[in-house]
Amino acid sequence: MISTDDPRDYEGPKEECGVFGVFAPEEDVAQLTFYGLFALQHRGQESAGIAASTGNRIMVFKDMGLVSQVFDESTLKSLPGRLAIGHTRYSTHGASEWNNAQPTFRATPHGGLALAHNGNITNTEELEGWLHELAPSESVPHKNRVMDSTSDTALISALIASFDEGSLEAAALKVLPRLTGAYCLTFMDETTLYAARDPHGMRPLVIGRLQSGWVVASETAALDIVGASFVREVEPGEFISIDERGLRAQRFAAPDPKGCIFEYVYLARPDTTIAGRNVHSVRVNIGRKLAEEHPVEADLVIPVPDSGTPSAIGYAQGSGIPYGQGLVKNAYVGRTFIQPTQTIRQLGIRLKLNPLKDVIAGKRLVVVDDSIVRGNTQRALVRMLREAGAAEVHVRISSPPVEWPCFFGIDFATRNELIAPGLTVDEICRSIGADSLGYISLDGLTEATTVPAGNMCRACFDGKYPVAIPPAQAKLLNLEVS
């Protein structure tokens, strides 16, 4: 029996994190970073932070909460500088607490190190062993190897701080090749901005040009908001350095692209471009393909806002069924840091969405959403639409069934909590109370992105992990590593 009273079941897949960095001596870098983080707020809502340097000293301010809750005008003015990095966090490794907020800061033999990370490192046990094996020296004292938080970001920082290689760049290049998993890093010392992307390029990371400097960010939407022009992506396995001499790039690992397919489905903003593909256009294509694979006789196509909107538009285009707005989203309901009462929790989806009864009453509806994780969101939604007078409710999902956990930066439910493993589509349909249910096929989704299947990680759908995952987890779940 599938539980329906756990308030967590109203939560879908969690975003990972957003990173931003800017080198612009003639600009207000803290203000630019603030704007960039606003554009990346969807990638993490637990904490936010900014580190800035004048060239002599790094200042860091971070706290729990949304970007607008953490920073105000006076705080930003206390962060003067020529370069800065910023971070919005959703925890996938390490507890949701202040100690794990980013950027992290470390003293190193070369000065300060502030670092922000998007992704998830999978060989942390091996790296922790390596950290403890490193012999301290006069220039690298033992305290540099002490972890000050439980995040994999702190582990990366501690490792870089453990090397006296003549420069922070050289120390980082000792550490980066040893990291396994997904990571996009922005980090800095007092004078230089650095960025690095894992050899598989699982998470997006882009470079932008300002009139007087450079920007790196998780998504192109963050470049747009600060007025930076898109230059290119940071290549998989590439290390970037930016200072007053300009931008320099070098490889620390051979590229083996395996970009996350779920970025196209849900994670990235629709106004972002990944690998030359506009995310909104891809999602509309997904909807057209979904209509082709799962047609139905209906009167109206409606999205579950906002993530289902582009695919619902595509479904309407592909099917010829009119598109309409049948659900209104409360823009002020999001993740908060005040724990609500159980009574409020039980309202679940009704706090977020409200049906337009005059639009949907008596109609046969196609309801398009991005994914089904535990199933309770869709179950509550179908019930709500029927109570509002819908004659039929046909659910269409713009991703295949989510059957496997993600180890690379998305916090899905555990496999035991996912609804898809062990159930047929018909059984899931009955569980959520819909008249019919259709998921896009994995091949159809891949075709809609126009990215070759071999260049993407699709493990949450097919269980084939392109990168090594923790051995204990692999053995426990009998997972396949390609």
* Residue 4 pLDDT class (50, 70, 90 cuts): very low
Numbers of helices and strands, H then E, in the chain: 17, 25
Q: 408-417: b or e for each residue (b if 16 or more CB lie within 10 Å)?
A: bbbbbbebeb
Residue 17 falls in the annotated catalytic set: yes
Contacts of 219 by beta carbon, 8 Å cutoff, 6+ apart: 18, 39, 40, 43, 204, 206, 268, 269, 272, 274
Q: How far apart are CA 418 and CA 403, in angstroms?
A: 7
Residue 20 pLDDT more than 70? yes
Position 141 scores a pLDDT of 52
Position 332 scores a pLDDT of 72
Pick from 441, 447, 438, 436: nearest CA to 294? 438
Position 1 scores a pLDDT of 23
CB 465 within 8 A of CB 480: yes
* Residue 470 pLDDT class (50, 70, 90 cuts): confident
Task: Write the CA distances from 103 to 47, 227, 389, integer angstroms.
Answer: 10, 23, 50
If 0-12 CB within 10 Å is exposed, 13-18 middle and 19+ buried, where does residue 293 land?
Answer: middle
Q: Is 406 marked as a binding-site residue?
A: yes
Report residue 411 as tokens.
């916090």
Residue 409 pLDDT more than 90? no
Pick from 201, 24, 52: nearest CA to 118? 201
276-481, CATH topology level:
Rossmann fold (3.40.50)
CB 139 within 8 A of CB 164: yes
* Residue 331 pLDDT class (50, 70, 90 cuts): confident
Q: Is 184 marked as a binding-site residue?
A: no
Mean pLDDT of 256-260: 97
Residues 63-115 have pLDDT tens digits of: 999 999 999 999 999 999 999 999 998 754 444 556 678 999 999 998 999 99
Position 95 scores a pLDDT of 47
Q: Is 370 marked as a binding-site residue?
A: yes
CB 308 within 8 A of CB 370: yes
Position 473 scores a pLDDT of 74
Residue 451 pLDDT more than 90? yes
CB 107 within 8 A of CB 144: yes
Q: Is 429 marked as a binding-site residue?
A: no
Report residue 36 as tokens.
């960039």
Contacts of 58 by beta carbon, 8 Å cutoff, 6+ apart: 51, 52, 105, 112, 114, 188, 189, 190
Position 413 scores a pLDDT of 62
- For the ranges 13-22, 359-368, 375-384, which has the lowest average pLDDT? 13-22
CB 456 within 8 A of CB 449: yes
Whole-number percent of the chain with pLDDT over 90: 75
Percent helix, percent strand, percent coil in the chain, to nearest 5: 35, 25, 40
Mean pLDDT of 214-218: 98
Report residue 283 as tokens.
């999602």
DSSP 323: B
DSSP 3-state assignment of 115?
strand
17-257, CATH topology level:
Glutamine Phosphoribosylpyrophosphate, subunit 1, domain 1 (3.60.20)
Position 11 scores a pLDDT of 45
The domain ranges of the chain are 17-257, 276-481
Provide the mean pLDDT of the chain: 89
* Residue 60: φ, ψ to 5°: -125, 135
Residues 155-201 have pLDDT tens digits of: 999 999 999 998 999 999 999 999 999 999 999 999 999 999 999 99
* Residue 386: φ, ψ to 5°: -65, -40
Pick from 438, 442, 445: nearest CA to 394? 438
The active-site residue, picked from 9, 14, 17, 321, is 17
CB 102 within 8 A of CB 187: no
Residue 14 pLDDT more than 70? no
Q: How far apart are CA 356 and CA 361, in angstroms?
A: 8
Residues 367-395 have pLDDT tens digits of: 999 999 889 889 999 999 999 999 999 99
Residues 29-58 have pLDDT tens digits of: 999 999 999 999 999 888 999 999 999 999
Which residue has better confidence, 138 or 196?
A: 196
Position 100 scores a pLDDT of 76
Pairing of strands 206-210, 456-457: unpaired
Residues 304-321 have pLDDT tens digits of: 999 999 999 999 999 999
